[in-house]
Chain A
Amino acid sequence: MNTHHLSEEALQQAAMEQPEAGSVREAHLEGCSSCRAAVAEYRAIFGALKTMEKPVFDFDVAQLVLEQLPQPQPAVRRFPWPAVLTGAAAVMGFAVPLLVLGRFLSSLFSGIPAMMLALIGVTAAGILLFLCRETVLNYREKMRLLNFY
């Protein structure tokens, strides 16, 4: 009596694949009625699944969707007011404090060489630009995902 049987995975494979003549699996199946029965059960299930009735919507999907689709229209180039206003607000956000606190700032940096000040300014501006770019890219990606899903 054969005490070693095919694994569940091998049984499933045997049920899904064409028999390979001369393979160890086929040789085992030839001599083992228990595994042959298990393969037959899987084959029956897979066959039944394939011919099982498929679900269908009880409405005309194409008609439902096509009614909602916008008609293609020529692209209209609009003036980018939101971007301009945001830019203006950002400039004001820097300019106003600079005007108000200008004399305090000049006394604050009076002892520092011009070269050093320029270096600090360029570095700070670079970091700021980099952070702005990252924020915009993150925002765009999140909006894309929100619109998509």
Chain B
Amino acid sequence: MNHSVEQKFTDQQLVERALGGHQPAAAQIVRQTEGLVAQIVFKMIPLADDRKDIVQDVYLKAFRHLAGFRFNAKLSTWIGRITYNTCLHYLEKKRLVFLPERPADGDQEDDGLDLLLQSQQPLHQNPIEQQLSGRERTAILGNAIRKLSPPVYQTLITLYHQEELSYAEIAEITSLPEGTVKNYLFRARNQLKKNLLSIYNREAL
């Protein structure tokens, strides 16, 4: 299937076509939303083996209830909400706490710190941006994000700063009041900065 020639349809057109059994429209819905679904699932589900089942569950629910979608929100936000609730339900069922994701490789965290320790100057002398590049930046930031607690901060930071969703959209996905989302994000950014600074301060010692 050629993804590059997919036409740009509105949410309503896509939903109507998918409900009419048009498989390319259903595939387009999946492709347009899987990035957001991945962000939520990767942040909330610690066991990589379970993610496939959860993603499948999310989309089957979405398509089963597609006729009930009332276009009060964007289709991606609605699917994001299903994803968030499915992940929460999974964690409840497995009696798991919404814990930070562990790196697949046990040494990855140390690797991230090693990468930081390789640079010569502390943060106040050398801006973070200059020091972080490409994969190093992903590793270091990933570790700093994983340390955010409570873990809902990790999801909020990702949705706001990576997926560039608005406060209202995040509130819709997480069912948290918009004011709470703003407040949590403020604390999460603050904590993230402290986490990064603590890494750099260790480096400076």
CB within 8 Å of B: which residues of A? 8-9, 12, 37, 40-57, 59, 61-62, 64-66, 68-69, 71-72, 147-149
Given contacts A40-B127, A42-B193, contact A54 B20 (CB under 8 A): no
Chain A residues with CB under 8 Å of B52's CB are: 57, 59, 64
* Bound Cα distance A36, B35 (Å): 34
Closest chain A residue, CB of each to CB of B58: A65
With contact pairs A8-B190, A62-B30 given, residues A68 and B56 touching in the complex (Cβ less than 8 Å): yes
List, sorted by A's number, 17 A–B pairs whose CB atoms are closer than 8 Å.
A8-B186, A45-B128, A48-B128, A48-B129, A48-B141, A49-B141, A57-B34, A57-B38, A59-B52, A61-B30, A62-B26, A65-B59, A65-B60, A65-B63, A66-B23, A69-B23, A69-B60
B70 at the interface (CB under 8 A from A): no
Instruction: From B34, B61, B157, give the contact of A49 (CB < 8 A).
Output: B157
| Residues in chain B within 8 A of chain A (CB atoms) | 1, 20-21, 23, 26-27, 30-31, 34-35, 37-39, 42, 51-52, 55-56, 59-61, 63-65, 82, 85-86, 89, 123-124, 127-129, 132, 135, 137-138, 141-142, 157, 161-162, 164, 186, 189-190, 192-193, 196-197
A46 CA to B1 CA, complexed, in Å: 36
**Given the complex, which residues of B lie within 8 Å of A55, measured CB to CB?**
38-39, 42
Given contacts A37-B124, A41-B197, A48-B132, 12 further A-B contacts (CB under 8 A): A12-B189, A45-B141, A45-B192, A48-B128, A49-B161, A50-B162, A56-B35, A57-B34, A61-B31, A65-B30, A71-B21, A148-B65
Tell me if B162 and A61 are in contact (CB < 8 A). no
Do the beta carbons of B141 and A52 come within 8 Å of each other? yes
Report the nearest A residue to B36, measured CB to CB. A54
**B155 vs chain A, min Cβ distance (A):** 12
Q: What residues on B are CB-neighbors of A72 within 8 Å? A: 20-21
Task: Specify which of B20, B23, B138 is in contact with A52 (CB 8 Å cutoff).
Answer: B138
For B42, the chain A residues whose CB sits under 8 A away are: 55
Asked if residues B55 and A57 are in contact (CB atoms below 8 Å), the reply is yes
Residues of B within 8 A of A44 (CB): 127-129, 132
A45 to B194: give the CA distance in the assembly, Å.
Answer: 11
Task: Write the nearest CB–CB distance from A96 to chain B, whole angstroms.
Answer: 41
- Report Cα–Cα, A54/B43, bound state, in Å: 11
Closest chain B residue to A49 by CB distance? B161
A147 and chain B: residue at smallest CB distance: B64
Q: How far is the CB of A141 from chain B (nearest CB, A)?
A: 13
Complex contact A62–B27 (CB within 8 A): yes
Task: Give Cα A106–Cα B144 distance, bound, in whole angstroms.
Answer: 80
Chain A residue at minimum C-beta to C-beta distance from B19: A72
Chain A residues with CB under 8 Å of B63's CB are: 65, 69
Contact assessment for A56 and B161 in the assembled complex, using a CB-CB cutoff below 8 Å: no
Measured between beta carbons, the chain B residues less than 8 angstroms from A59 are 52
From B37, B56, B142, B196, contact of A45 by CB (8 A): B196
Closest residue of chain A to B55 (Cβ to Cβ) is: A61
Which residues of A are found within 8 Å of B89, using beta-carbon distances? 149
Residue in B26, B135, B141, B189 whose CB lies within 8 Å of A69 = B26
